Amino acid sequence: MITTDTSVREQIVSTADRLFYKQGYNLTGINQIIEEAGVAKASLYYHFHSKEDLCVAYLKRRGEKWSAMLAKYIEGVSDPKEAIIKCFECRSKYLQQNGFSGCSYIRIIAEMPQRSAKINKQAVLNKEKQREFFAEQVSKLKKVPGNSVKDFANTIFLLFDGATVQCQVYRELSPIENALKALKILL
Amino acid sequence: MITTDTSVREQIVSTADRLFYKQGYNLTGINQIIEEAGVAKASLYYHFHSKEDLCVAYLKRRGEKWSAMLAKYIEGVSDPKEAIIKCFECRSKYLQQNGFSGCSYIRIIAEMPQRSAKINKQAVLNKEKQREFFAEQVSKLKKVPGNSVKDFANTIFLLFDGATVQCQVYRELSPIENALKALKILL
DNA sequence: AAAAGATCAGACAAACTTGTCTGACTATTT
DNA sequence: AAATAGTCAGACAAGTTTGTCTGATCTTTT
């Protein structure tokens, strides 16, 4: 049995997630969220103290969505080289499915230069998780190009973010293809 | 003799440039711009039909600023390898001087998912100019790593954008350092 | 049955948004 | 001297924003 709490809260977060990501944080009003979520304004402010808090929940949700998608995509893959490539391919699918809206953490920071501590923390946390994924895979490689594991993981991370934002700007997947080409030469 | 036209218009654009880049486009109101520029509202709308048009002028201005800074930075450098590295070093300086506000073109696109044609055009134009810079330098290299000139220029471009957005997110210059490390291995 | 928790619709406040318009004034050009 | 172009301060319109509050209603727990 689903308690009403979870259902209403969930409805709010999933609607905010969709709208913030599609329209941007600043261009999405509370009123639109409650309308499309089909909940009362008082309910939203019962669950979230402010729009800012809802934003943190949104970022968390985005991180979980991406992690789940990636985990499923590399399920059973033991070769680190393949896992890294698959991660980029997964990103390609993700961007395509989400209308080339880029990285939600980067975007929220681009939208709010006067970053609130809460939002900044969540965004950086999510980004670090991705860096750690690459570091873990690179540490499993037999031969690491260049100097160190850390450096090579950072290089991949740069290609990953570069490709993500360029896909957003150009609204096409070619930057991911470019990153894959670079990766295949490096690996 | 400076005509009043240039002076007022210039005052508007330079103030908009400063505020849009620092605070973000959506969080900067017309009223703040005219107040800080010291001009009347009617003057702003005399020179620019809308905030959107002012935004295009802002992007143009940003592009010119960056180009001028880069040109000065690589003045007299004939070695393409050195020019590429210097471009990244210049970016480091640029970000430091501008409070780690990232790339204005990427940011404006992050802020306005419903991209107006005018703004999108200017942003992509500016981005393409940067890609061409790398392509030109790479074409001058004696030995190009990987397959083609175009591919290698794109790889550098990915590292460049990746480093720029990561510097913005983390508010530090280490991503540029990481990109330089990667470059020195690749070149 | 009573208390506590969750939800509803919507009014309201106070502030802000872009853009228009008025009417006067100054500077430049013809 | 007359016409044109540029600038001024500020009121105004019509709409938006986040967040609060009211008061009723429903659900769950004690």
- Rounded alpha-carbon distances, angstroms, from residue A184 to A73, A84, B5, B121, B172: 19, 10, 55, 32, 29
Question: In which element (H, E) is residue A152 found?
Answer: helix A149-170
Mutate to test the interface with A, among B108, B164, B165 (most CBs of A within 10 A): B165
The pLDDT of residue A146:
73
Sign of CA dihedral B159, B162, B164, B169: negative
Please tell me whether any atom of strand C lies within 7 Å of the Cβ of B78. no
Chain B interface, Cβ < 8 Å to A:
22-24, 26-27, 101-102, 105-107, 109-114, 123-124, 127, 145-147, 151, 154-155, 157-163, 165-166, 168-170, 175, 178-179, 181-182, 185
Predicted confidence (pLDDT) at residue B12 exceeds the cutoff of 90:
yes
Task: Tell me which residues from 2 to 61 on chain A have a beta carbon below 7 angstroms from nucleic acid strand C.
Answer: 4-5, 7-9, 38-43, 46-47
Say how far apart CA B59 and CA B123 lie, in whole Å: 7
The pLDDT of residue B3:
41
Size of interface A-B (CB pairs under 8 A): 143
The pLDDT of residue B6:
66
The pLDDT of residue B145:
79
Please tell me whether any atom of strand D lies within 7 Å of the Cβ of B38. yes
Which amino acid would we find at residue B26?
N
User: pLDDT (tens digit, 9 = 90+) per residue, B53-91?
Assistant: 999 999 999 999 999 999 999 999 999 999 999 999 999
Say how far apart CA B54 and CA B16 lie, in whole Å: 8
DSSP character string of B104-135: HHHHHHHH-SS--HHHHHHHHHHHHHHHHHHH
Q: Do B111 and A24 touch (CB under 8 A)?
A: yes
Mutate to test the interface with B, among A28, A111, A165 (most CBs of B within 10 A): A165
User: What long-range pairs does A39-46 form, CB within 8 A, spacing at least 24?
Assistant: A39/A8, A39/A11, A39/A12, A43/A8, A43/A12, A44/A12
Greatest C-alpha distance within chain A: 57
Torsion of CA A36, A37, A41, A46, to 10 degrees: -160
Of the candidates A1, A11, A93, which has an alpha carbon nearest to the alpha carbon of residue A44? Answer: A11
User: pLDDT (tens digit, 9 = 90+) per residue, B15-25?
Assistant: 999 999 999 99
Q: Which two tokens stand for residue A47?
A: 């669950």
Nucleotides of strand C under 7 angstroms from a protein beta carbon = 5-11, 16-23, 27-29
User: pLDDT (tens digit, 9 = 90+) per residue, B144-171?
Assistant: 877 799 999 999 999 999 999 999 999 9
How do the residues of chain B divide into helix, strand and coil, expressed in percent and rounded to 5? 75, 0, 25
Mind telling me how many Å the CA of B46 is from chain A's nearest CA?
27
Residues from chain A that touch B169, judged by Cβ atoms under 8 A, are: 105-106, 109, 123-124, 127
The separation, in Å, between residue B108 CA and nucleotide C22 C1' comes to 35
The separation, in Å, between residue A65 CA and nucleotide D25 C1' comes to 36
The pLDDT of residue A175:
98
pLDDT-flagged residues of chain A (< 70): 1-6
Residues from chain B that touch A157, judged by Cβ atoms under 8 A, are: 162, 166, 178
The pLDDT of residue B106:
97
Predicted confidence (pLDDT) at residue B138 exceeds the cutoff of 60:
yes
The pLDDT of residue B1:
32
Q: What is the pTM of this model?
A: 0.94
The pLDDT of residue B132:
97
As a whole number of Å, the end-to-end CA separation of chain A is: 50
Q: Which two tokens stand for residue A160?
A: 């990953």
User: pLDDT (tens digit, 9 = 90+) per residue, B113-137?
Assistant: 888 999 999 999 999 999 999 999 9
The pLDDT of residue A6:
66
Please tell me whether any atom of strand D lies within 7 Å of the Cβ of A19. no
